[in-house]
Amino acid sequence: MNPAQAATAKTADATRDATAAPPRPRQGIPGKPGPGDGRLAARLARELEGEVLFDAFSRGRYSTDASIYQIEPLGVVVPKTQADVARAVEIARDEDIPLLPRGGGTSQCGQTVGEALVLDTSKHLDKLIDFDPEARSAVVEPGLVLDRLNAFLRPHGLWFPVDVSTGSRATLGGMAGNNSCGARSIRYGLMRDNVLAIDALLADGEAVSFGELAPEALLNNRPSRARDLAARLLDVGRRYETEIEARFPKVMRRVGGYNIDALLPARENGSGDHRPPGAPANLAHLLVGSEGTLATFQRIHLKLAPLPKHRVLGVCHFPSFYEAMTATKQLVALGPSAVELVDRTMIELSRDIPLFRATVERFVRGEPQALLLVEFAGDDADDNLRRLAELSTVMADLGFPDGVVEATEPAFQSAIWDVRKQGLNIMMSMKGEGKPISFVEDCAVALDDLADYSRRLDEIFAKHGTSGTWYAHASVGTLHVRPVLNLKLDRDVKAMRAIAEECFEMVRAYKGSHSGEHGDGLVRSEFHDAMFGRPMVEAFGEVKQIFDPDARMNPGKIVNPPKMDDRALFRYKPGYRTDGADAALDWSAWGGFAGAVEMCNNNGACRKADAGVMCPSYRVTRDEQHLTRGRANSLRLALSGQLGPDALASDGMMETLKLCVSCKGCKRECPTGVDMARMKIEVLRRRAQTHGLSIRDRLVAYLPRYAPFVSKLPWLANLRNRLPPLAWLAEPLTGFSARRPLPEWSAAPFLRAGESLGPAGGREVVLLGDSFNRYFEPENLEAALEVLRAAGYRVHLPEAADGGRPLCCGRTFLSVGLVEEARSEARRLLEGLAPFVARGVPIVGLEPSCLLTLRDEFAALMPGEATERLASCSFLLEEFLAAEADAGRLKLQLAPLAQKRALLHGHCHQKAFDVMGAVERVLALVPELEVESVASSCCGMAGAFGYQAETQEVSMRMAELSLLPAVRKADAETLIVADGTSCRHQIEHGSGRGARHVARVLAAALPGRNEMELET
């Protein structure tokens, strides 16, 4: 499709979309386009290259950020080029509609929600435009994510040092918009201190470059918009100089209001301006922290810093929180690069999280009430160590001898930092209606006041019947704290307002800053009057007027804000109700299905592109729709009736979930534990109930039931793979892509059942077959049987209590939403295995998605003791063998293989259940075998996903992200190991290389076995 055709198609789509068609008046302004306006959408689609998203689901997905607010935008544009941005700005001017630039949408104060045309720069405008290692500078597009920039800079010994904890998804545009600050701001300053210049578009479409203002810039007589703007702004600076001096808090962390102190030459006033004294005004610094209200950034010029060569960390233990706060100033005097707080609650919560437990045990000594993580960084390793020793001395002088746990190895340090960085997320994993709410989260006070401030704020919380957990940046007087409130209740909303007023009043008395890190947005702007005073607010208004006289840019933030507790703007508006009663699975731990869906707080961790699995579909499309967050938001809106009747079973919802491969990456990696794979089952069930099942769904779901018959005629069943025209003819009927061979039916399926093999006195184990290995790759079950017998186990091959077809976990039924069928399979399996479970015999399986269903979905299908007991004795083969080896019980003799190297790809469910260590452990039992794991996300095959005609191409793109390139790079002698059936097929189809289950690798290494079976 050429661009013109594409534009026409987009126009047609936008116009066709029923939800986009009827224009609604915006904010009661008759004649102005409202949310979803079809005509506006059509115009944008006609004139822009990028995507135009005006349908109700897309608007819903862009109506929230990581704040408490929800406002439906007019629509969304995802510009493909800078020309698109310019055109969108012009159209907004022409149509007289507000504009809202957006990056990752992780703002906590409501900066990125508004009834405006949203410009999402995060998908396409993410280039590094220029990099000058000598000058230590870079020019970036606004959508570039911090961690990606830093990954590029690392080999050059440089980094962009504003290390926000959302670095995996925060864009440089958003960071500049919010004047973001990192954990090491004590050394590197805030965003404002690290931005050299910004090229921006004004609301009227004019492009202007903002940067350091050389005096001669104003002398040139030629009329210019930039000069006029500069002159007017400098005039504001001059007129308000005394007021700025008097009212800007003299703390390092001040990000509230506009940085109008940047309009004055620099001086040492400690007001958050860290330019060298005498440095000229820099107008880019005024744009930093402007939250999209002044101009749209197109290019950001950044100052880079050398990466310190060495770091050391001292974990200081305190018997009380108060003592930690009191000590902070003395520790800061040692010149650390960071001093971060972790309180008792956070320590305990982290201890409960399996991922963090071992680290916490290592760096926490005894039962401290608070920890301060003190980091020293620099090029001189000895100097760092000297300062670490000095830290111990100071701690001893303060009365805490042996109060420091030293972390000098980089891996230990980064494990500790991980716990700290996940601080908020650890807190947010709290289930139930009450949630830690961000609104007084980042006030900043002078270090001398820190202890008193935190004690008094605790008292305020207690007065309002709540409490908070403390963590974060002690070095700069910014402590994060969120009181737990239920904002669905009027009572708690009132408490929120009262706490905000009392807290800010106290902060004002301390001459601190009410907005010390996360910006103003909707939650804080209202308080500028009280905090800065009327004249300063008037100055902010003048700045806004100069840049944006028609108030087009992100209205309601910083100036002219609404009330922060206007519930009409909340995510949970008055009258918010959810329809979760009809859920088929057990969601009681979250108070129901809706409660589980509402766990998503939009923190955006699923937008990451680094290590890990979550979220494979987003990794290839970079669309908000194909993101765990986008899906959770759509579900919440659907469950609460905000997307129309029966939205859960609608086409829009199917589109939203279409690329979710049920990998469970989110179950493990989403900080709040959103398990979209399980939620998808509920949606598919509703869909099946209202729309029925397709032929393909039936073929997939009922495989375990028809397989015993079809497997009798494997040549017939495999004919489709042999005769390509047949595959093409079948595609429209079955929905399976003709470009894929389907799994081959085996002529000798593994149908053994009701037998027990191996020495009669051997330790008992059940080998539970699954439909995929049984009918398509029986050699894997044979291999597992051989390995277990060789190791001296008494292996039982279970049979159904009814003596009928083989047992099955029900996974195929769950994958299309047939929950009742899955439940009946689960019941049958429980019955068949009951005698073994009663004796505590380990149940061992090979296929991760099947076996792990016993530990996961079974609990939601049939909660109860029997299920729990089954879960507690179900293991993947590798888990069982690794545990046996660890217990010193494994008697498995293995010989070296001809192949000396194995490349291991983990199935997503293995990763979700933390099984990969066991696979590596078991492969390491093979003498001389060197194992390397591929840092891959989902292979993309994911059950039927990769075989479906409409998703086959996306499936290949997922595989091409990292897995297939790694396999292709491996030499011919390298063994490719993958335990998932789908993964092996994807690897074989995508690279032509055969991949083997770990059972076959072990079997091939049994003494006397024919290694040729492991041909690579």
Ligand X SMILES: Cc1cc2nc3c(=O)[nH]c(=O)nc-3n(C[C@H](O)[C@H](O)[C@H](O)COP(=O)(O)OP(=O)(O)OC[C@H]3O[C@@H](n4cnc5c(N)ncnc54)[C@H](O)[C@@H]3O)c2cc1C
Mask of contacts with ligand X, 419-438, x by CB under 6 A?
-----x--------------
Residues touching ligand X: how many (CB under 6 A)?
36
Say which entry of ligand SF4, ligand X, none residue 674 contacts (CB below 5 to 8 A, set by partner kind). ligand SF4
Q: Between 284 and 677, whose beta carbon lies closer to ligand SF4?
A: 677
User: Which one of 21-29, 167-175, 814-822, 963-971 is the stretch in contact with ligand X (CB under 6 A)?
Assistant: 167-175
Least distance to ligand X from the beta carbon of 294, Å? 8
* Strand (E) or helix (H) holding 78: strand 75-78
Terminal CA-CA length for the chain: 40
Whether 643 and 57 have beta carbons less than 8 Å apart is answered as: yes
Least distance to ligand X from the beta carbon of 535, Å? 25
Separation CA 520–CA 481 (nearest Å): 16
Separation CA 312–CA 410 (nearest Å): 8
Which position among 472, 496, 506, 677 is part of the footprint of ligand SF4 (CB under 6 A)?
A: 677
Say which entry of ligand X, ligand SF4, none residue 103 contacts (CB below 5 to 8 A, set by partner kind). ligand X
Least distance to ligand X from the beta carbon of 547, Å? 11
Say which entry of ligand X, ligand SF4, none residue 676 contacts (CB below 5 to 8 A, set by partner kind). ligand SF4
665 touches ligand SF4 by CB under 6 A: yes
Separation CA 388–CA 376 (nearest Å): 7
User: Which one of 98-106, 370-378, 388-396, 761-769 is the stretch in contact with ligand X (CB under 6 A)?
Assistant: 98-106
Rg over alpha carbons for the chain, rounded to the nearest Å, is: 30
Mask of contacts with ligand X, 118-137, x by CB under 6 A?
---x----------------
Least distance to ligand X from the beta carbon of 73, Å? 12
Closest CA to 829 of 867, 794, 788, 856: 867
**Greatest Cα-to-Cα distance within the chain, rounded to the nearest angstrom:** 100
* Strand (E) or helix (H) holding 201: strand 195-202
* Strand (E) or helix (H) holding 481: strand 480-485
Residues 6+ apart with CB under 8 A from 426: 346, 349, 350, 353, 356, 419, 671
Whether 168 and 422 have beta carbons less than 8 Å apart is answered as: no
Say which entry of ligand X, ligand SF4, none residue 660 contacts (CB below 5 to 8 A, set by partner kind). ligand SF4
Separation CA 258–CA 536 (nearest Å): 10
Q: Between 213 and 427, whose beta carbon lies closer to ligand SF4?
A: 427
Closest CA to 213 of 226, 199, 203, 201: 226
Say which entry of ligand SF4, ligand X, none residue 614 contacts (CB below 5 to 8 A, set by partner kind). ligand SF4
Long-range contacts of range 730-739, CB-CB < 8 Å, 24 or more positions apart?
A: 731/949, 733/695, 734/695, 734/696, 734/699, 735/694, 735/695, 735/696, 735/948, 735/949, 735/950, 736/696, 736/699, 736/947, 736/948, 736/949, 737/947, 737/948, 737/949, 737/952, 738/949, 739/952
Q: Between 41 and 599, whose beta carbon lies closer to ligand SF4?
A: 599
Least distance to ligand X from the beta carbon of 172, Å? 8
107 touches ligand X by CB under 6 A: yes
297 touches ligand X by CB under 6 A: yes
Q: Between 631 and 828, whose beta carbon lies closer to ligand SF4?
A: 631
Say which entry of ligand SF4, ligand X, none residue 296 contacts (CB below 5 to 8 A, set by partner kind). ligand X
Where does residue 803 rank: exposed (0-12), middle (13-18), buried (19+ CB within 10 A)? exposed
Separation CA 479–CA 706 (nearest Å): 61
The backbone region for 560, taken as left when phi is positive above 0, alpha when psi lies in -120 to 50, beta otherwise, is: left
Which position among 569, 632, 681, 892 is part of the footprint of ligand SF4 (CB under 6 A)?
A: 632
User: Which one of 37-45, 292-300, 454-462, 884-892 is the stretch in contact with ligand X (CB under 6 A)?
Assistant: 292-300
Q: Between 525 and 812, whose beta carbon lies closer to ligand X?
A: 525
Which position among 292, 555, 561, 906 is part of the footprint of ligand X (CB under 6 A)?
A: 292
Q: Between 122 and 384, whose beta carbon lies closer to ligand X?
A: 122
Least distance to ligand SF4 from the beta carbon of 632, Å? 5
Say which entry of ligand SF4, ligand X, none residue 600 contacts (CB below 5 to 8 A, set by partner kind). ligand SF4
Separation CA 359–CA 372 (nearest Å): 16
Which position among 661, 788, 795, 1004 is part of the footprint of ligand SF4 (CB under 6 A)?
A: 661
Which position among 109, 263, 342, 670 is part of the footprint of ligand SF4 (CB under 6 A)?
A: 670
424 touches ligand SF4 by CB under 6 A: no
Tell me which residues in 513-572 interact with ligand X (CB under 6 A): 517-518, 554
Q: Between 85 and 918, whose beta carbon lies closer to ligand X?
A: 85
Say which entry of ligand SF4, ligand X, none residue 663 contacts (CB below 5 to 8 A, set by partner kind). ligand SF4
Task: Look at the alpha carbons of 1007, 1013, 1015, 1016 in this order and tell me if their dihedral is positive or negative.
Answer: negative
Q: Between 424 and 451, whose beta carbon lies closer to ligand SF4?
A: 424
Closest CA to 714 of 768, 778, 769, 767: 778
377 touches ligand X by CB under 6 A: no
Least distance to ligand SF4 from the beta carbon of 695, Å? 24
Q: Residue written as tokens 């100055």?
A: 539
Which position among 102, 301, 631, 805 is part of the footprint of ligand X (CB under 6 A)?
A: 102
Least distance to ligand X from the beta carbon of 452, Å? 24
Least distance to ligand X from the beta carbon of 165, Å? 4
SS3 77: strand
Which position among 666, 683, 830, 939 is part of the footprint of ligand SF4 (CB under 6 A)?
A: 666
Enter the tokens of residue 117.
């045309």
Tell me which residues in 572-631 interact with ligand SF4 (CB under 6 A): 600-606, 614-617, 628-629, 631
Alpha-carbon torsion angle 504, 508, 512, 515, nearest 10: 40
653 touches ligand SF4 by CB under 6 A: no
853 touches ligand SF4 by CB under 6 A: no
664 touches ligand SF4 by CB under 6 A: yes
Least distance to ligand X from the beta carbon of 128, Å? 15
* Strand (E) or helix (H) holding 376: strand 370-378
Residues touching ligand SF4: how many (CB under 6 A)?
28
Separation CA 496–CA 466 (nearest Å): 10
173 touches ligand X by CB under 6 A: yes
3-class secondary structure per residue, 931-997: EEECCCCCCCCCCCHHHECCCHHHHHHHHHHCHHHHHHHCCCCCEEEECCHHHHHHHHHHHCCCCEC
Least distance to ligand X from the beta carbon of 183, Å? 7
Which position among 73, 79, 104, 555 is part of the footprint of ligand X (CB under 6 A)?
A: 104
Say which entry of ligand X, ligand SF4, none residue 165 contacts (CB below 5 to 8 A, set by partner kind). ligand X
Say which entry of ligand X, ligand SF4, none residue 108 contacts (CB below 5 to 8 A, set by partner kind). ligand X
Separation CA 376–CA 423 (nearest Å): 21
Separation CA 114–CA 91 (nearest Å): 18
State the helix-helix crossing angle for 877-886 and 778-790, rounded to 10 degrees: 10
107 touches ligand SF4 by CB under 6 A: no
Q: 99 forms bridges with which residues in the sheet?
A: 117, 553
603 touches ligand X by CB under 6 A: yes
Binding site for ligand X (CB under 6 A): 65-66, 100-108, 111-112, 121, 142, 164-166, 170-171, 173-175, 177-178, 180-181, 291-292, 296-297, 424, 517-518, 554, 603
Binding site for ligand SF4 (CB under 6 A): 600-606, 614-617, 628-629, 631-632, 660-666, 670-672, 674, 676-677
